[in-house]
Amino acid sequence: MQMTGAQILVECLLEQGVDTIFGFPGGAVLHIYDELYRQHDRIRHILTSHEQGASHMADGYARATGKVGVCLATSGPGATNLVTGIATAYMDSIPMVAITGNVPLSLLGKDSFQEVDIAGITMPVTKHNYIVKDVKDLARILREAFYVAQEGRPGPVLVDIPKDVTAHKAEYVREEPRKVERRCKGITDESIREALEVIGRSRKPYILVGGGVVLSDAKDQIVELADKLDAPVTCSLMGMGGFPTNHPRYTGMLGMHGTKASNIGVTHCDLLVVVGARFSDRVTGDTAKFARGAQVLHIDIDPAEINKNVAAYHHIIGDVKMVLEALNSRLEQQQHAAWMEEVAKIQKDNPLRYKPGLTGQYVIERLYAYTKGNAIIATEVGQHQMWAAQFYKFHEPRLFLTSGGLGTMGYGMGAAIGAKVARPDMRVVNIAGDGSFRMNMNEIMTAVRYKIPIVVLVINNSVLGMVRQWQTIFYDERYSFTHLNPDLDYVKLCEAFGAQGYNLDKVEDIDAVFDKAFASDVPVVINCIVDKDDMVYPMVAPGKPIDELVEEKY
């Protein structure tokens, strides 16, 4: 059947099971938007307040479901406004297809109005990208984009389409989506045998769970490995929920703001089994002294991560779930009671603590108790993000949405909306700092417009908290441009957007405010007033070994 490029695009999206697109229109994508108007009963479009919000919503949708998130923007500034969200998805290996319009083919490369080389701009932060120069190639490229976004280590793919290509016609024949096979070529009998030998020699094993466990849906397999190995478990920020953080083997997050039990335990272990993690500097600290007494067994789908930051004694390259299934099937029960007791004592003697009163830590603990862990938690970036990782427990994967690799302030608002669109049955909370909230608070209008009842918990300390914390510790309290406007009335602001707002400044009001917020059928912003001098502890100074923790004195 002959169809226009715009029609082919929409049909290909439907082929791939896409039910929602997040975007913002403009001249170069008008043919596409005209077709979306015609097809509104078959595919939903969410009009965002800014293109960056669209990319974060697509990201949140993907993280909450495991499906590919889709965002759409026009040429020039519309396309460049997607870049931060694309880079965020790239750093955290999130499957996304970003579709951009461009000027007509005859105007490409001529500095035309609203023309940018978006393929060139995004080359370093996409898994792959395409410029569609012939409508006959459009369906093939779109199908390939979805496959590439999901296959192996996931990531964002960009498809740039000149305007006239969306008007030209070509033959379209529906196809079933290409099945994405899990990578298993690197999982050999020899690699499993060698891993079992390394494990068999260990007396003090530790498991580090990374984001790859979440992406591979390997929670059950990692729990089985921990039990068979009889080992304690720690998580990177991206690994939260990959291993249940309410599990008795879990010792807390690892790294710069990790727990003492995890940081000391990993430093003193003799075997570190690293599953789907990339050894970020925020996890390792001084790599020369990271897990310095351990042999590292690294399991990852991406061969580029092996020996990149930390040398592996042995590695297995393949889909994490398949590797763990193969390993577990041949692993005999290990016994490390003395080691488990040693780590448990460190954990018991060094619990996470904070001062009494209304603090970010306490409110997040109460949020967990109130929701019983049955909520999707998105975060912005800063102190509140670390407190969420420390004090909220994640029983399942895909309940913690946060920008780990890029550290994108403003991410959480869009991610929360995308997650709620994807999983309307779930409570969705965006935990924000007041600095991060200002970045993309305009997306409250999007949530209001589409009646998306998210809850935004603003931990408001009137400063850029994490930056100020570093200024306190490393810059002799020279607070350069980190004080915000304390007189801004967030409740009135959000009410102007059409949302509900509540001030929270007393401990005894927490549950009553939560009751109102979660009973609402419109977006709610809770403005929680905390002290500007509250800090995230423990903390490891940049470049220091992770066992050199600074702890707050009480």
Nearest to 450 by CA among 499, 409, 494: 499
Per-residue confidence (pLDDT) for residue 469, from 0 to 100 = 96
Per-residue confidence (pLDDT) for residue 487, from 0 to 100 = 85
Domains of the chain: 2-171 (3.40.50.970), 189-349 (3.40.50.1220), 360-529 (3.40.50.970)
Per-residue confidence (pLDDT) for residue 554, from 0 to 100 = 61
332 catalytically annotated: no
If phi over 0 gives left and psi between -120 and 50 gives alpha, with beta otherwise, what is residue 91?
alpha
Angstrom CA distances, 217 to 56, 63, 122, 236, 458, stand at 22, 12, 28, 16, 31
SS3 string of 137-165?
Answer: HHHHHHHHHHHHHHCCCCCEEEEEEEHHH
553 catalytically annotated: no
123 catalytically annotated: no
Q: Letter for the amino acid at 439? A: M
Q: Counting Cβ atoms within 10 Å, is residue 513 exposed (0-12), middle (13-18) or buried (19+)?
A: buried
Structure tokens at 179: 């099945």
Collect all residues with Cβ–Cβ distance below 8 Å to 378 and sequence separation of at least 6: 60, 401, 402, 411, 412, 413, 415, 416, 419, 428, 429, 430, 431
Angstrom CA distances, 137 to 16, 141, 169, 479, stand at 17, 6, 11, 55
CA pair distance 498, 205, nearest whole angstrom: 53
* Catalytic residue, candidates 3, 24, 35, 51: 51
Peptide bond into 538 cis (omega under 30): yes
CA pair distance 107, 116, nearest whole angstrom: 11
* Catalytic residue, candidates 15, 114, 133, 325: 114
The percentage of the chain sitting over the pLDDT mark of 90, rounded to a whole number, equals: 97
* Catalytic residue, candidates 409, 439, 466, 539: 466
Pairing verdict, β 44-47 and 96-102 = unpaired
* Catalytic residue, candidates 16, 22, 67, 163: 163
The percentage of the chain sitting over the pLDDT mark of 70, rounded to a whole number, equals: 100
Asked if residues 441 and 80 have their Cβ atoms less than 8 Å apart, the reply is no
Asked if residues 186 and 24 have their Cβ atoms less than 8 Å apart, the reply is no
* Catalytic residue, candidates 1, 113, 345, 355: 113
Which portions of the chain are predicted below pLDDT 70?
554
Per-residue confidence (pLDDT) for residue 552, from 0 to 100 = 82
Evaluated on CA atoms 73, 75, 80, 83, the torsion sign reads positive
Angstrom CA distances, 316 to 186, 208, 219, 283, stand at 6, 15, 18, 21
335 catalytically annotated: no
163 catalytically annotated: yes
Per-residue confidence (pLDDT) for residue 156, from 0 to 100 = 98
Instruction: For residue 48, give the DSSP letter.
Output: -
Angle between helices 360-371 and 510-519 (to 10 degrees): 50
